[in-house]
Amino acid sequence: MFNFEKLEVYTKALFFSKEVYKETIDWPSRYQFNLCDQLRRASLSISLNIAEGSAKSKADFRRFITIARGSCFECVPLIEMSYELKLLSVNKKDEWYNSLVSLAQMLSKLKSSLSN
């Protein structure tokens, strides 16, 4: 097992991207190569940056955590747009938004812990 796999934020990020992939699988084809693809890539980028950054120095890991946190933020307007286009229910939109808030907070704490 790699060290990053022991991080709760990593497992939660991976779960979030899996949920995004499952939910978007049946979206209309006109959204598959723009909104859907961008949301999938942004959600997956969270766990990918945690994993990749963990193999670097502490300073570099902090930078990768910052990028992962930015991917959380990137998902917010994508989720809002998906909701506005009636691709997501209000419950799913709220669930994902709350997941992103939690992930961003966890990433901030992880980044802070790397400063010590």
CA angle, residues 89, 90, 96, in degrees to nearest 5: 90
Tokens coding 104 = 């961003």
- Distance between CA atoms of 110 and 61, rounded to whole angstroms? 10
The helix (run of H) or strand (run of E) holding residue 99 is helix 90-113
Give the pLDDT mean for 15-29: 96
pTM: 0.95
The helix (run of H) or strand (run of E) holding residue 68 is helix 58-84
Is 36 a residue whose pLDDT tops 90? yes
**Percent of all residues in the chain with a pLDDT value above 70, rounded to a whole number:** 99
Residue type, 37: D
Tokens coding 59 = 């300073």
Tokens coding 20 = 């995004």
Is 113 a residue whose pLDDT tops 90? yes
Alpha carbon of 88 to those of 23, 53, 104: distances in Å?
9, 32, 21
Count of the separate structural domains present in the chain: 1
Average pLDDT score, the chain: 96
- Residue 43 has what pLDDT? 98
- Nearest CA to 9 out of 52, 62, 65 is that of 65
Q: Which domain holds residue 73?
A: 3-113
pLDDT tens figures, 60-96: 999 999 999 999 999 999 999 999 999 999 999 999 9
* Residue 52, domain CATH: 1.20.1440.60
- Residue 116 has what pLDDT? 66
CA angle, residues 111, 66, 46, in degrees to nearest 5: 100
